[in-house]
């Protein structure tokens, strides 16, 4: 059934769909079937068709957190729904609702430049609004959960819409129910609560140098400048941002490692994956056309024409080296289809 109770027709489905432009790593990849989704009924119809045909159903946004295999079976739906609305009736918060296919960084720039501060620390993160809750995106001392109000999702298991508030989402560090129960929910729209009595979040390294009275526009520009100086631009050199999570280890394991940053964590000690990789000599290391960025050891880049196999082999070599030298297991951040 469609979102309004009717049975919508399948539209926009393409066989042998080219996903190469839909992943920031720039890997060549084709899906058995794919569609660019511009409306909720279209999504519902595609999901129903996949179910009826016994096909796998995948939903992606911009593909900025994905490692795509050359061939993907089933249907891949690219969320491209658009629309942003603002509800400023509450005295405490401005509620901003954006459709899943909106650009996250575009939304941040729109709200900040329109005098609605609150998202500035999350400027410049690639990807779509719909994917932002999936790994509870975060940067520079702020995460999505801090500005989250609610979201509307399509429940693929029950074929109905469901509204989630913050406590339903199971937000944690780069995690949520949408990641834990991958494949069950499609995020349709996200509502953010932007504080009317806004105070800047400047506690994170890199932002502390800003004066306490800095406005949101200044902070956003500063964040964008730091990101541009640290990370390779995926438009020039394909990448999926941080390739590994920072590992959390026991204090005993942390003791055995000589050097490198460490941060207190409720489950032990958080180490810097970038430092561990760099210490194993991988910065700038190449494997075919895949490489570890020479600017940031946590970023694997496509130097042009890299294959899934090359990136996966490089990731395995890094994981093996870090495990063998430090006894620490790195986990991969980008999801694989």
Ligand X SMILES: Cc1cc2nc3c(=O)[nH]c(=O)nc-3n(C[C@H](O)[C@H](O)[C@H](O)COP(=O)(O)OP(=O)(O)OC[C@H]3O[C@@H](n4cnc5c(N)ncnc54)[C@H](O)[C@@H]3O)c2cc1C
Task: Kindly identify the residues of this chain, within the stretch 17-36, that bind ligand X according to CB under 6 A.
Answer: 24
Question: Which residues 6+ apart lie within 8 Å of 172 measured at CB?
Answer: 136
One of 8, 26, 200, 241 touching ligand X (CB under 6 A) = 241
CB of 327 to ligand X, least distance (A): 27
CB of 152 to ligand X, least distance (A): 11
Residue 132 within binding range of ligand X, rule CB under 6 A: yes
Torsion sign over Cα 164, 118, 241, 128: positive
For residue 311, give the nearest of 231, 235, 239, 242 by alpha carbon: 239
Residue 118 within binding range of ligand X, rule CB under 6 A: no
CB of 98 to ligand X, least distance (A): 11
Measured between alpha carbons, how far is 14 from 34 in angstroms, rounded to an integer?
A: 5
Residue 60 within binding range of ligand X, rule CB under 6 A: yes
- Annotated active-site residue 174? The verdict is yes
**Catalytic residue (choose from 64, 176, 242, 293):** 242
CB of 273 to ligand X, least distance (A): 14
Measured between alpha carbons, how far is 51 from 47 in angstroms, rounded to an integer?
A: 6
Residue 75 within binding range of ligand X, rule CB under 6 A: no
**Catalytic residue (choose from 174, 184, 221, 303):** 174
Residue 72 within binding range of ligand X, rule CB under 6 A: no
- Annotated active-site residue 333? The verdict is yes
Binding part of the chain for ligand X, among 28-36, 232-240, 264-272, 278-286 by CB under 6 A, reads 232-240
Residue 216 within binding range of ligand X, rule CB under 6 A: no
Bridge partner list, 263: 270
Residue 126 within binding range of ligand X, rule CB under 6 A: yes
Residue 137 within binding range of ligand X, rule CB under 6 A: yes
As given in the structure block, the two tokens for residue 287 are 């494997």
Q: Tokens 């690639």 label which residue? A: 126
Residue 178 within binding range of ligand X, rule CB under 6 A: yes
Residue 66 within binding range of ligand X, rule CB under 6 A: yes
Measured between alpha carbons, how far is 21 from 1 in angstroms, rounded to an integer?
A: 31
Binding part of the chain for ligand X, among 11-19, 199-207, 233-241, 271-279 by CB under 6 A, reads 233-241
Q: What is each CA distance from 82 to 36, 101, 159, 207, 271, in whole angstroms?
A: 12, 6, 22, 32, 39
Residue 125 within binding range of ligand X, rule CB under 6 A: yes
Residue 187 within binding range of ligand X, rule CB under 6 A: yes
Given the rule CB under 6 A, which residues bind ligand X?
24, 58-66, 79, 100, 125-128, 130-132, 134-135, 137-139, 178, 182, 185-187, 231, 234, 239-241, 335
Tell me which residues are annotated as active site.
Answer: 174, 242, 333
């Amino acid at each position: 059934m469609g979102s309004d109770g009717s049975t919508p027709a399948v539209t926009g489905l393409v066989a042998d769909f080219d996903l190469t432009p839909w992943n920031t790593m720039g890997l060549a990849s084709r899906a058995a079937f794919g569609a660019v989704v511009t409306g909720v009924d279209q999504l519902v119809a595609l999901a129903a068709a996949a179910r009826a045909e016994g096909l796998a159903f995948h939903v992606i946004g911009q593909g900025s957190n994905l490692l795509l295999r050359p061939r993907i079976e089933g249907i891949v739906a690219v969320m491209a729904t658009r629309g942003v609305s603002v509800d400023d009736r509450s005295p405490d918060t401005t509620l901003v609702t954006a459709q899943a296919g909106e650009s996250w960084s575009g939304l941040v720039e729109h709200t900040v430049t329109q005098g609605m501060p609150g998202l500035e620390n999350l400027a410049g993160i690639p990807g779509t609004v719909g994917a932002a809750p999936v790994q509870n995106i975060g940067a520079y001392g702020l995460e999505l959960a801090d500005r989250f109000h609610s979201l509307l999702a399509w429940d693929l298991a029950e074929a109905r819409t469901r509204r989630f508030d913050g406590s339903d989402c199971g937000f944690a560090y780069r995690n949520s129910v949408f990641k834990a129960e991958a494949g069950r929910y499609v995020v349709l729209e996200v509502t953010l609560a932007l504080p009317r009595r806004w105070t800047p979040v400047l506690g994170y390294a890199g932002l502390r140098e800003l004066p306490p009275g800095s406005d949101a526009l200044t902070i956003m520009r500063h964040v964008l400048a730091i990101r541009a100086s640290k990370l390779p631009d995926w438009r020039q050199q394909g990448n999926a941002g941080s390739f590994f999570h920072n590992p959390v280890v026991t204090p005993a394991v942390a003791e055995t490692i000589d050097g490198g940053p460490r941060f207190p964590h409720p489950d032990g000690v958080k180490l810097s994956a970038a430092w561990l990789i760099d210490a194993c000599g991988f910065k700038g290391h190449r494997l075919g056309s895949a490489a570890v960025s020479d600017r940031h050891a946590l970023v694997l880049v496509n130097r042009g024409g890299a294959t899934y196999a090359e990136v996966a082999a490089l990731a395995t070599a890094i994981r093996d080296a870090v495990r063998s030298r430090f006894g620490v297991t790195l986990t991969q951040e980008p999801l694989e289809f």
